[in-house]
Amino acid sequence: MPAFRPELDYRDPRTSQGGVHNIAHLNGVARGDGSLLLSFGRVLPAREVARRKAKAIGGRVAARVGVVRPDRFRESRVPVSVVEGSAYALVELPDDRAAGARVLLLERPVSVPNHNVLGRGGELVYNDSNSDRVVAWDLGVGRPRVAVEIPGDPAFVRGLARLDDRLYLVGSQRPAAVRIVDLEAGALVETVGLGGDPREAVYAICVLPESFASPPPALSFDLRA
C-alpha cells in the first residue's frame, strides 16, 4: 500500500488510480482497557491485491496524460464494492507498544466490510454488515454470545453507540433508521425511522454529551437557500 503523501490531493481521482489502496480497510477505532480496539472491516485477499497492482500500471500511465477512469453505475444495493474471499479482523493495540498488536477476532470469508467495534467487559460488539446483524462476541469462548438481526433491504448495518450496558444504537440502510438493540435480551426493541432519500444511509452514530451546544439559530441547513 503506498505511503500517505501530504503533498498530493487525494480528492483528485488520478491520484488513486496509479496505486493499490485500502488493502486493509480501517473503519472503526475505540478505547479498550489500556488499549485501542481497531476494526479492519475488510482485508483484501492476495489475489485481489495482485490484480489491482497489475491494473495500477495502466492507471499510472493514464494519469500522466490526464485520463481519468469513468465512474461506473453500481448495480449492487450496498454502497461499496463486493470482493469475495476477503477477511475481517478486530485487533487490539496496547498502549504499551512493546507488547505488540493482537488479533482478537478473524473471520473469513466476507464480501463487503463489517463495521465498528466497542468493548463490553469480556465481549466485543460489532456490526456484521455482511449478515445484517449486530454481534456481541464472547472473547473467552471465541464465538458470538448473541447476534441480533436488523431488518432492511439490505440493512447494511453501520454506526454503533452505547446507551447503557444493555442498550446500543445501530444504524441501518433501506430504510434509513436508527435501531435500539438490547444485547442482554438479544432483541430489537425500538426503531427510529429517518425517512428521506432512499439512497441515503446511516454510517455513524455518536451520543452527544449534555454540554454539547445547540446550533446557532441563524444557521440554515436548507441547501436551496
* DSSP per position, 99-117: G--EEEEEEEEESS--EEE
CA atoms of 119 and 122, how far apart (whole Å): 8
More confident residue, 18 or 143: 143
Give per-residue pLDDT as tens, 14-38.
676 667 778 899 999 999 989 999 9
Sketch the domain layout of the chain as residue ranges: 114-207
Q: Which cell goes with 37? A: 480496539
Would you identify the CATH topology of the domain 114-207?
Lipocalin (2.40.128)
Cis before 109 (ω within 30): yes
pLDDT at 52: 84
pTM metric for this prediction = 0.82
156 backbone φψ class: left, alpha, beta (φ>0; ψ -120 to 50): left
Q: Inform me whether the pLDDT recorded for 106 exceeds 80.
A: yes
CB atoms within 10 A of CB 204: 13
Give per-residue pLDDT as tens, 63-79.
666 656 665 555 667 77
Give per-residue pLDDT as tens, 162-193.
999 999 999 999 899 999 999 999 999 999 99
